[in-house]
């Protein structure tokens, strides 16, 4: 990661310093110099003289040994190694590089941004030190961009402990790689910059439920939301809109209750998953919008339930409630009858009897309704009368007989006419009146029943005196 800084006197590059004969050991780096300033020159001298280096001061002894090997004369007193010229050299070292050591800078642990993931909470603290640390630092994006969904909190300052922290947090909204120069500035005009690379992985935690089945008013409802991806403990909530009246969403993703009114509700749910997979730690969030419809109960009816052998039959199936269009199926229909896709039962029955038929109505949402319907197939209508006899001068009520058929039968004369004074009552099928003269006539009658059955027969009608 490249770095650049400005605003500190005596500044040197942060990469490794080159060595020169009789001056700097090759192991000395700019980071060591910053540590020198942190420890203070007196502490460094004490560490060198006592040969008990504090953390970060061990390189000083290496330097002192190099001086010794170059010809410096040590004096040993009480088992401690001392150098005649050590104090002045180390003091000079600390003072010359105060400007470098005090340079405003990011801490080591804050020089590399952690990997992110779409939909996973992101938290990256920027720790820093040195510079004018008696007032808050400022953190700004100098160039480049942060990943969509992340933001930089400009400052955070713990005055007693002089702890300076910037924060990049949020929830990445898009996968990819982004780079940004982030500047650290103090109130004295010092600044330091680091180039950060942010790698954002694609989403690995999603709400997998595509849609919710509709409910029925005043009927119990139950549905369960689900997620896919990283194994997690998931909690659910409604984050926008509202469920239909009578329904609630529990934290485990169950939608339950009894809808109280017909209608549709659109709402957004949020799933928060805390990973239980050690290889994919983190808290992930996904949201999804649903529309839940509450419908009237499904009902089914059929326009006709009585047929007749040999008579073409057609009945209309009717559905209400649910969501149209509907589809129909049936089992147990009389032989000769079938269900059509348009919601009809049609055909010509071939056998009389009583049949219990199971009709199934399925609406556009796949919700089925099955109900039993009793169908009756009547025997074929037949005129059974062969002859009728009336007496001249006497009132007559001569009935025409039938067999089979269904419901009321109406009559007509197809050809011929009864003897004078006699007539057909079309509603009752009787020959009524007073015959005025003896004679015999061939009359063809037609009977039609309520099922549409028709029978035609020629009957001899006689009047005797």
- Crossing angle (nearest 10°) for helices 58-69 and 86-96: 130
Nearest to 73 by CA among 178, 82, 292: 82
Torsion angles phi and psi, residue 463, rounded to 5: -120, 125
Sign of CA dihedral 61, 66, 72, 78: positive
Distance from C-alpha of 368 to C-alpha of 355, rounded to nearest angstrom: 22
DSSP 178: E
Distance from C-alpha of 345 to C-alpha of 328, rounded to nearest angstrom: 10
Report the CATH number of the 382-464 domain.
Answer: 2.60.40.10
Q: Which CATH superfamily is domain 105-201 in?
A: Immunoglobulins (2.60.40.10)
Burial string for 431-442 (b: 16+ CB within 10 Å, else e) reads bbbebeeeeebe
In contact, 398 and 430? CB cutoff 8 Å: yes
Distance from C-alpha of 388 to C-alpha of 399, rounded to nearest angstrom: 8
Cα 306 from chain centre: 49
Is the domain 206-294 a CATH 2.60.40.10 member?
Answer: yes
Question: Which parts of the chain register pLDDT below 70?
Answer: 1-102, 155-162
The residues pairing with 433 across neighbouring beta strands, listed in sequence order, are 396, 422
- The pTM (predicted TM-score) of the whole model is 0.61
In contact, 202 and 230? CB cutoff 8 Å: no
Distance from C-alpha of 12 to C-alpha of 204, rounded to nearest angstrom: 45
Q: Is 149 exposed, middle or buried (0-12, 13-18, 19+ CB in 10 A)?
A: middle
Which pLDDT belongs to residue 366?
A: 87
Residue-range domain boundaries for the chain: 3-101, 105-201, 206-294, 299-378, 382-464
Percent over 90 (pLDDT), the chain: 67
Per DSSP, the residues of 1-22 read --EEEES-TT---SSPPPPBTT
Q: How would you classify residue 171: left for phi > 0, otherwise alpha for psi between -120 and 50, otherwise beta?
A: beta
Half-sphere exposure of 390 (CA within 13 A, CB side): 30
89 CB-near residues (< 8 Å, 6+ apart): 67
Which pLDDT belongs to residue 133?
A: 73
Per DSSP, the residues of 97-136 read THHHHT--EE-GGGSSPPPEETTB-EEEEEEEE-SSTTS-
In contact, 267 and 238? CB cutoff 8 Å: yes
Which pLDDT belongs to residue 339?
A: 94
Fold matches, 206-294 and 299-378: yes
Give 253-294 pLDDT, tens digit per residue. 999 999 999 999 999 999 999 999 999 999 999 999 999 999
DSSP 427: T
Give the per-residue SS3 of 337-360: EEEECCCEEEECCCCCEEEEEEEE
Which pLDDT belongs to residue 3?
A: 52
Which pLDDT belongs to residue 176?
A: 97
Nearest to 397 by CA among 429, 426, 367: 429
Fold for the domain defined by 299-378: Immunoglobulin-like (2.60.40)
The residues pairing with 360 across neighbouring beta strands, listed in sequence order, are 329, 370
In contact, 232 and 276? CB cutoff 8 Å: yes
Bridge pairing between strands 247-249 and 80-83? unpaired
DSSP helix/strand/coil, 207: strand
Nearest to 102 by CA among 55, 34, 2, 189: 34
Distance from C-alpha of 456 to C-alpha of 443, rounded to nearest angstrom: 11
Give 204-242 pLDDT, tens digit per residue. 999 999 999 999 999 999 999 999 999 999 999 999 999
Nearest to 320 by CA among 373, 363, 360: 363
Distance from C-alpha of 388 to C-alpha of 35, rounded to nearest angstrom: 135
Per DSSP, the residues of 17-76 read PPPBTTTB-TT--HHHHHHHHHH-HHHHHHHHHHT-PPTT-HHHHHHHHHHHHTT--EEE
Other beta carbons within 10 Å of 359: 23
Q: How would you classify residue 389: left for phi > 0, otherwise alpha for psi between -120 and 50, otherwise beta?
A: beta
């Amino acid at each position: 990661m490249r770095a650049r800084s400005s605003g500190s006197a005596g500044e040197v590059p942060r990469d490794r310093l080159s060595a020169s004969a009789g001056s700097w050991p090759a192991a000395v780096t700019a980071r060591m110099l910053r540590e020198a300033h942190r420890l203070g020159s007196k502490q460094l001298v004490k560490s060198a003289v006592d040969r008990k280096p504090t953390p970060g001061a061990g390189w000083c002894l290496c330097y002192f040994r190099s001086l010794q090997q170059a010809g410096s004369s040590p004096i040993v007193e009480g088992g401690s190694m001392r150098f005649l010229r050590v104090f002045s050299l180390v003091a000079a070292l600390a003072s010359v590089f105060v400007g470098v050591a005090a340079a405003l800078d990011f801490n080591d642990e804050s020089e590399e941004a952690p990997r992110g993931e779409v939909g996973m909470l992101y938290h990256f603290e920027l720790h820093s030190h040195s510079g004018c640390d008696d007032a808050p630092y400022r953190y700004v994006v100098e160039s480049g961009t942060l990943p969509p969904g992340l933001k930089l909190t400009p400052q955070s300052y713990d005055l007693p402990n002089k702890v300076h922290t910037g924060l990049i947090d949020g929830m990445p909204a898009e996968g990819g790689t982004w780079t940004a120069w982030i500047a650290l500035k103090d109130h004295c005009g010092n600044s330091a910059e680091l180039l950060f690379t942010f790698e954002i992985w694609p989403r690995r935690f999603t709400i997998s439920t595509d849609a919710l089945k509709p409910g029925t008013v005043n009927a119990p409802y139950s549905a369960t939301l689900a997620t896919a991806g990283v194994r997690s403990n998931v909690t659910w909530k409604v984050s926008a809109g509202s469920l239909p009246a009578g329904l609630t969403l529990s934290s485990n993703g169950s939608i339950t209750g009894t809808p109280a009114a017909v209608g549709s509700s659109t709402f957004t749910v949020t799933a928060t998953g805390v990973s239980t997979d050690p290889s994919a730690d983190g808290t992930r969030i996904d949201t999804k919008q649903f529309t839940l419809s509450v419908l009237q109960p499904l009902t089914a009816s059929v326009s006709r339930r009585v047929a007749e052998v040999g008579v073409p039959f057609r009945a209309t199936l009717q559905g209400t409630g649910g969501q149209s269009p509907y589809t129909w199926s049936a089992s147990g229909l009389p032989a000769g009858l079938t269900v059509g896709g348009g919601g009809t039962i049609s055909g010509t029955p071939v056998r009389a009897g009583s049949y219990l038929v199971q009709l199934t109505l399925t609406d556009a949402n796949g919700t089925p309704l099955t109900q039993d319907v009793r169908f009756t197939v009547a025997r074929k209508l037949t005129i059974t009368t062969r002859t009728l006899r009336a007496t001249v001068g006497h009132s007559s009520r001569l009935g025409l007989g039938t067999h089979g058929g269904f419901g009321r039968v109406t009559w007509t004369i197809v050809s011929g006419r009864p003897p004078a004074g006699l007539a057909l009552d079309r509603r009752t099928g009787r020959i009524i009146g007073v015959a005025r003269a003896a004679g015999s006539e061939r009359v063809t009658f037609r009977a039609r029943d309520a099922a549409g059955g028709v029978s035609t027969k020629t009957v001899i009608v006689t009047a005797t005196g």
